[in-house]
Chains A and B, each alone.
Chain A
Amino acid sequence: EAGVAQSPRYKIIEKRQSVAFWCNPISGHATLYWYQQILGQGPKLLIQFQNNGVVDDSQLPKDRFSAERLKGVDSTLKIQPAKLEDSAVYLCASSFSGEPVWNEQFFGPGTRLTVL
């Protein structure tokens, strides 16, 4: 079974530029998550989708970050404009949704963003 795919793996941009990350979840997984992992810290949830609807985006800096999941499969996370403090690894995860049973989150390899 293919895992969660993310691209690009690495990205270097100048501050105030825009950037987009792509995630393809495991086939059949209805729930998709984007996490931000700053160096030396644990991942922090930015946004959770259930199919193409947002379940939780309470920690997403909405003035500069946006995410979409059209058709309930692939997802794109965008930062516009980027700041130095956005330098981090952006992790995508997915899980099969079968309420009320707990479903494991499977993580992708992440995209490492460096903002100069």
Chain B
Amino acid sequence: AQKVTQAQTEISVVEKEDVTLDCVYETRDTTYYLFWYKQPPSGELVFLIRRNSFDEQNEISGRYSWNFQKSTSSFNFTITASQVVDSAVYFCALSEALGKGGSEKLVFGKGTKLTVNP
């Protein structure tokens, strides 16, 4: 069975600090996909990134970066120079290979609530 663990329930930082959100996953599939979503107070889940299991290259997008390590089954997310607008709940998710319709069944972790204080 697939499982995603986000051990950090809540994190509080001061603006401009760097912060890393941890994600550990379990799957028996050799082909799988990993995601990060942001859920601001408005409630809508916002897609941030998707990586497949064959691509272990780290990725950087502006202040966001992701570190994927298959050896430790981890897909961590770092925000550099955090801002108040980064305050939200962040979810890591896992899916198996493409299902019917080209979409995937997502299994989410419990989320990490990030609060960035001014």
Contacts and interface: CB of A to CB of B under 8 A. Distances in A.
Contact of B43 (A40, A48, A56, A109): A109
Given A104-B47, A109-B44, A42 B101 contact: no
A110 B100 contact: no
Q: Kindly state the interface size class of chain B when it binds its partner.
A: 20 to 34
A89 interface: yes
A21 interface: no
A34 interface: no
A45 interface: yes
Contacts of B46: 107
Contacts of A103: 101-103
B47 A105 contact: yes
B101 A44 contact: no
Interface in A16-39: 30-31, 33
Contact of A48 (B4, B98, B105): B105
Contact of A102 (B91, B104, B109, B111): B104
Interface of B: 4, 33, 42-47, 50, 91, 93, 98-106, 108-111
Given A40-B110, A98-B102, A107-B45, 6 more contacts: A50-B101, A56-B105, A91-B43, A91-B45, A102-B104, A110-B43
Interface of A: 3, 30-31, 33, 40-45, 48, 50, 55-56, 89, 91, 93, 95, 97-110, 112
